[in-house]
Amino acid sequence: MLKTWQFWVLTALALIAGAMAGTNGVLLMVNQKAQAEVAQRAQFIQQSIQLEALYREIVKALADWTVRNHDSAVHDLLAAHGINVGDNPAPAAAPAGAPAETKKRSP
């Protein structure tokens, strides 16, 4: 048979254990939500990295178009995004008999 003080001590311990279990459940849900958000951001970053090469090719094509066709609308569009087109002088031609330089593409 339990004495009165033993009953109250065990009851208090049970309430503390229940509160800790509830807190653990809440923290588990918060952690899972945060992990899902981090995973979503990581996926976005990974996809952005994969598209970077495509974006560079698009910008290069637009810059080439602007220089070739003297298209001021596209020039202004690129300039609005901080891309200067036609402001740099063309590279010097290679001397006769020199091998052509090949450009390496980054992955």
99 lies in some domain = no
Model confidence pLDDT, tens digit, residues 2-60: 899 999 999 999 999 999 999 999 999 999 999 999 999 999 999 998 899 899 999 99
Q: Which residues contact 74 (CB under 8 A, 6 or more apart)?
A: 62, 65, 66
70 lies in some domain = yes
Model confidence pLDDT, tens digit, residues 18-30: 999 999 999 999 9
102 lies in some domain = no
21 lies in some domain = yes
Q: How many domains does the chain have?
A: 1
Range of the domain at 66: 4-80
72 lies in some domain = yes
85 lies in some domain = no
CA trace torsion 16, 19, 21, 27 (10° rounding): -130
